[in-house]
C-alpha cells in the first residue's frame, strides 16, 4: 500500500509539473487584411501602359516613367506627369495637388482624383502591396500599371 501511495504521488507530481507550457506566443500572428484605402495610400510610379484588348504595351521612356500618383491616408492626392522636351530633357508638367475618393465603378472598386485641372475616375483592376493597375477610359481603354516606390 505504501508503494501504491508513492506511485500515485509520483504520477501526480509528474503530471502537474511536467505539462508543457501552453504558450500562445509560439503561434504565428496573421495580420489583418489591409483595406483598399490602406493599400492605395502610397506613391505609385508608372511602369507601363497597356491596351487591355490586345495586351500590347506602349513603350515608355525613362522620363515618362518618372510620372507618379501619390495617395495619402488623409484623402490627399498628388500627381506629377513628366514628358521629354524638344531637347530631350525630362520636364515636369507640374505637380497637381488635390484629393481622391474611393468609389464603385460598374460594381468594381474605383478611384476618383480631383484637382484644380479636373477630375479623373479610374477603375482599380488590381491592387497589391507592390502593384496598382488602373483602367482609364478616354481616347480608348488603357491600363496604367504602377509599382509602389
- The 10s digit of each residue's pLDDT in 63-118 is 999 999 999 999 999 999 999 988 889 999 999 999 999 999 889 999 999 999 99
Fold topology of 40-148: Lipocalin (2.40.128)
pLDDT one-digit tens code per residue, 120-149: 999 999 999 999 999 998 878 999 999 998
CA nearest neighbour of 92 among 66, 58, 111, 128 = 66
2 forms beta bridges with none
Global pTM value: 0.77
Cα separation, 9 vs 4, whole angstroms? 9
Amino acid at each position: 500500500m505504501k508503494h501504491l501511495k508513492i506511485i500515485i504521488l509520483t504520477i501526480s507530481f509528474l503530471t502537474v509539473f511536467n505539462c508543457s507550457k501552453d504558450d500562445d506566443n509560439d503561434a504565428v500572428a496573421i495580420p489583418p487584411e489591409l483595406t483598399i484605402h490602406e493599400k492605395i495610400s502610397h506613391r505609385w510610379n508608372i511602369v507601363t501602359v497597356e491596351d487591355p484588348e490586345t495586351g500590347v504595351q506602349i513603350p515608355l521612356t525613362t522620363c515618362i516613367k518618372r510620372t507618379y500618383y501619390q495617395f495619402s491616408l488623409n484623402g490627399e492626392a498628388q500627381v506629377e506627369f513628366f514628358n521629354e522636351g524638344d531637347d530631350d530633357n525630362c520636364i515636369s508638367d507640374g505637380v497637381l495637388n488635390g484629393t481622391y475618393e474611393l468609389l464603385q465603378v460598374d460594381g468594381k472598386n474605383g478611384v476618383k482624383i480631383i484637382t484644380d485641372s479636373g477630375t479623373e475616375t479610374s477603375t482599380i483592376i488590381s491592387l497589391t502591396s507592390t502593384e496598382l493597375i488602373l483602367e482609364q477610359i478616354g481616347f480608348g481603354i488603357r491600363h496604367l500599371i504602377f509599382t509602389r516606390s
